[in-house]
Amino acid sequence: MSKNPSEEPLQQPVPEKTSPGEILRRTRRERGLSIEDVTGGMGITKATLNALENDDFDRLPSPLFVKGYVKTYCALLGLPDQDLLVNLEQSMSDLGIHQREPAIKFPPAPNRIGRFLKNVLPMVAVTILIVIALLLVIQVADRVKLPFFDSGKPLLGSARSTVLSMKPAMASMMDQEVKESGDTLDKQDNPQTMTLNVTQQSWVEVFDASGDLLLADLQPPGTRLEVTGDAPFKVNLGYAQGVEIHYGGKVVPVSNIAADNTAFVSVGLDSDLEN
């Protein structure tokens, strides 16, 4: 007996996975929040919010910033962020977007002995060479005799005056070496401090001169941060207009702000101290 085709079980369609942006958009509408409410609360532009709600990662900054935006958006909506962040990670992975978050490294205590040896040993070697050269010059000068004198007296006048004239120059060179070495040691053994005042919520990343990540987090308004490390610093801002940077007693101008209000600033260059 043949089976009636109508009696065969129907295939249930597999429900499509809801994207993170769609979840955020639906929840915003359910909460009765407007686009202006969200952009004002998060400190981002309408273009950034639109890209976030539509999963348009090409118009969003790095994954670190996007995760910060999602966490802030969830907090604004009163929505748990853990599952949504996992969903976001999977969505970006499916699109081939990867960025491994580096572990935050605190600046190590200055290795004063190592830096001292590194800077002083070359100076000591140069000093030894100068002393050896000076001794050789003195020995040669003592042995030089005037060929046209029968008395056989050594030529001391011009030779010794030459040696004596060399001594102040050598001493000056040695003093300069010591001064430059001391300046270098002072600069390396005294990490610089940069202050950031957050007036509007923003994601903040700070790298030191060695490329170590000193700070990476979403900062709320009213936050004052003091970051200490080896300058120059590289600062990445998620909302550049909401962060004020101070270094060396001066305000560091934040220029080249992108359309999505992100900015990348180098702080602590020699030019910053001269201005």
Structural domain spans, the chain: 16-94, 112-189, 192-274
Distance CA 19, CA 206 (A): 31
pLDDT reported for residue 33: 93
- 26-35, 83-92, 117-126: range with lowest mean pLDDT: 117-126
Sign, CA dihedral 4-5-7-8, equals positive
Pick the CATH number of 16-94 from 1.10.260.40, 3.30.70.2190, 3.30.1490.190, 1.10.150.120: 1.10.260.40
DSSP letter at 159 equals H
Which amino acid, one-letter code, is at 67?
K
190-195: average pLDDT: 88
The residue to which tokens 């499509």 are assigned = 16
Lowest mean pLDDT among 13-17, 48-52, 129-133, 146-150: 146-150
Is it true that the peptide bond before 147 is cis, omega within 30 degrees of 0?
Answer: no
For position 50, what pLDDT does the model report? 92
pLDDT band at 169 (very low <50, low <70, confident <90, very high): low
Which is more confident, 16 or 79?
Answer: 79
Question: Which residue has better confidence, 160 or 206?
Answer: 206
pTM value is 0.47
Average predicted confidence (pLDDT) for the chain: 77
Percent of the chain with pLDDT over 90: 29
Give per-residue pLDDT as tens, 207-260: 999 999 998 888 888 999 999 999 999 999 988 888 999 999 999 999 888 877
Sheet holding 250-252, edge to edge: 224-229, 192-198, 243-247, 250-252
| Across 25-29, 74-78, 89-93, 234-238, least confident range | 89-93
- Higher model confidence: residue 70 or residue 137? 70
Identity of the highest mean pLDDT range in 1-10, 175-184, 202-211: 202-211
| Mean pLDDT on 181-187 | 51
pLDDT in tens, 104-114: 444 455 555 65
For 119, 121, 187, the CA distances from 270, given in Å and listed in that order, are: 20, 26, 12
Reply yes or no on whether the pLDDT at 102 is more than 50.
no
What is the number of H-type helices and E-type strands within the chain? 8, 8
192-274 maps to CATH 3.30.67: no
What is the dihedral sign for C-alpha 17, 66, 44, 57? negative
pLDDT tens digit sequence for 119-168:
677 788 888 888 888 888 787 766 655 454 444 555 445 545 554 555 55
Beta strands in the chain (DSSP E): 192-198, 202-207, 213-219, 224-229, 233-237, 243-247, 250-252, 263-267
Separation between Cα atoms, residue 71 and residue 79, nearest integer Å? 9
Give the per-residue pLDDT at 104: 45
Mean pLDDT of 182-196: 69
User: What pLDDT is stored for residue 163 in this prediction?
Assistant: 47
